[in-house]
Structure 1
Amino acid sequence: MKKNISLAFAVVLATTSMVVSAEVFNHVDLDKDRRSVEYSGPINKTINAIKERKWLGQTKDMDGGVVFTPYVNPQFGKNNTESGGAIMVTATFYLYDEPVKEALMVARQSQIPGFVEFYGYDSRELQMHVRVIDGDTFQSFASDTQYRSPEKLNTYKKVEQFNKSSYKSEMKSASDSGMVF
């Protein structure tokens, strides 16, 4: 009898811990033309927590990261311009230790509660929905529709340096490989 009670207690405890660890994300409808200025408190708090640090996000497919730098918007406060109410950052994306893309991004309140959205000023398809966990970690979805799939939540850790590619030593210049005649 004691074995059955112990087994039942262990099952309940294991089930409870799995339920607690499975985080559920919600979605709220916000005005699609919402401006940064209206949500400047949470946006500035997030930017201050992640700015000018190297953030490494590792998945099984890549080893890269991002560095966010505040952008001084010269149009800020001018309501007659598209970027007048925009708090902006420059995001430099890395593959290993090489920068591969730099994008000017607009910050605004995400439709995923607790997250701040950064989207490309020139391309709205480039998105990061970010929430700061602590001084060394933030999490991100690549779009506001991924909240339904918690496995698509990426975790970024603060690092001193990005990893070096192990393929650089194998690469040859075009002239060394015989590609240039």
Structure 2
Amino acid sequence: MKVIGLCLAAVLAASSFVASAETFERVELDKDRTSVQYAGPIKSITKALEGYRWLGQTADMNGGVVFKPYANEKFGKNDTETGGAIMVTAIFYLYDKPVKEAVMVARQSQIPGFVEFYSLDSRELQLHIRMVGDNTFQAFSSDDQYRNPAKNLMTYKKVGQFNQSPYKDQLKSAEESGMWY
């Protein structure tokens, strides 16, 4: 029995090393590329993401994101920026509280195997996502973070609900804190 346990531990250690040693490349794509050009992979990822709560937990973060379908009324109108865009609404959470909502355009990422989602209002807000099974996705927050995946690759898991903030009981109203005169 000890031999089986030792073998299992060795296999798990080797598989985690292989996963953390994964390297990513970057390819140059047209900066004006549209969703329609890569509609197959984009639609499969958006359909897998939409309607679920995705929890990302690291030492720095305890929150997540919910993706909802977005009806692009300008779709097919080539004279507009969003005419060829598959879009979603992303609602970002800190613990169980929504903190930001953004309409995001989906297009092929310059990191092969990933789909880029960038905010229509601010291209700095982006996620480069790939699905890892039905209940997990991995993401970079920009297309240049692929160089250091051990530090920058985030993992999100599908959950029924987000975690409650442990600080809820510590918050006081303005009157209780003395800020109210």
Letter in 2 for 1:94: Y
Q: Which residue identity does 2:111 align to in structure 1? A: I
**% of aligned pairs identical?**
64
Match of 1:60 in 2: 59
What residue is the counterpart of 2:18 in the other structure?
20
In structure 2, C-alpha distance between the alignment counterparts of 1:58 and 1:132, rounded to whole Å: 17
Following superposition, the deviation at residue 61 of structure 1 comes to: 1.0
Quote the Cα distance in structure 1 between the aligned partners of 2:162 and 2:143: 27
Which AA in structure 1 matches 2:137?
A: F
Aligned residue for 2:97?
98
Aligned to 1:9: none
Aligned to 1:10: none
Q: Distance in 1 between matches of 2:153 and 2:12?
A: 23
Task: Map Cα deviations across residues 44-83 of structure 1 (whole Å, 9 max, x no partner).
Answer: 0000111110000001012000000010000000001111
* Structural RMSD (CA): 1.7
Q: What is the aligned partner in structure 1 of residue 4 from structure 2?
A: none
For 1:1-150, list aligned pairs within 5 A: 20-21=18-19, 22-150=21-149
Unaligned 5+ segments in structure 1 are 1-12
**Cα-to-partner distance string for 1:1-56 (whole Å, 9 max, x where unaligned):** xxxxxxxxxxxx99976763310101110000000011110000000111110000
Deviation digits for residues 129-161 of structure 1, max 9, x if unmatched?
Answer: 000001110000000000001121000000000
- The match for 1:7 is none
Q: What TM-score does the superposition give when structure 1 sets the normalisation length?
A: 0.89
Larger-Rg structure: 1
